[in-house]
Structure 1
């Protein structure tokens, strides 16, 4: 079943049974829980990882920071890909990539591999998570969305608390003699079940007039953030070399160019990646 939104918003929910709608919602909530939990679950396991893999201080920081950096860089692009090519499709692709990256993290044999796979895990989450809120709107009529969104908010809060707790329990328990590795491997069967549920119960939906795919802006944002993060992460370990300050200057320049593109796009009537108007909002 496929749904295309009207220009004014999301169409009426598809004709699904209450059971199918509940399973689809649980699938979306599970993915959201898994994504946020993985942002914090490694924090209490870092010292164990360090002794097991011989991680440097910089590698420890990249394992913790690489995931949210990749996630933030790809989030808007992931949402627009879902609008254009189908939210269920991107959700399933993101779930599969997240499960594969989690498996790779759990089997990583050296620091470089673990850091790289954490980045990939963050990019996979950026494909998966943006689809959740719109899929909830597709599943439920306006009168019922408040309850579903309340459940989503509760799951997000629970995941933020559960991440460090589960990380400590799993690492201290040394499940099957695998030390820290099950904190990643546990995602694999969950992702498989969520994929099966999504394919069976989650309706497909697309935007009738999708926003443009802003690859250049996404690259500028990711490169700018990375250029700032690299020297901050490795600088103290190497005595703050001159290249680090050059890298930070490059990052500032890239982010400035990113901002310029957003303002230019908005003035031309083209939907930007990040609407400049949000920066005029005091609460933002």
Structure 2
């Protein structure tokens, strides 16, 4: 997904395993960049299943830690995703991803499918200031986490920097105060786009099965009920008021119930099936080349 910007000040960096770019009307100071780095590192130390020192790894065998401030909101959104998709989206899918090769060591060795725990609400809870896991499991917030971090980065910059801002985390981006023409990358040919979406405020998040893919048809979007990769849809795009919501919608769109989940949150969307056809929501403002 490519973005067009006005003449701007640009800062590029790597974080949480992907490339980030911040475009701004005003230059970022060293303190501005340090503030962003602190927010990113803090989120990573809380939610990364790849870092041995993260909170979710500390309780992977079961236990309790002080809850991150957004734990209840994130688990609440997972609850809504789970209900909308019939259990296909689950915050305890980490072990299922690791078994398929998407583990902390990036082994890419497939050890077979394993469903995520269906009773995850009984196993993981955020209450009374604690994040508790009642039994061994790996929390994975990949369905909404990058969008949440985009919102956090935009928030810290908005409090420090005057003028328009664009925060782009390789497919999940937030725009504030400037119109952007965003190309919707074809999932089977990165040189092509299936359309363009113009956005002046809010967030656009994308997900595709050609990203973080390996082996024979393996990729990062698993159906938590089975532990198998999804096959019906190849790519999704969602626009919402904030990036965490857009990220959640982009994930939900790989499953039945995704369009209803999007409508309930006022999100517009586009999705492409693996056999080629493109679908879109009512009132979608994307310019589609179909």
> Which one has a bigger Cα radius of gyration?
1
TM-score for both structures, normalised by structure 2? 0.29
- Which structure exhibits the higher relative contact order, with contacts defined as CA atoms closer than 8 Å and separated by 6 or more residues? 1
The structure where helix makes up a greater share of residues is: 1
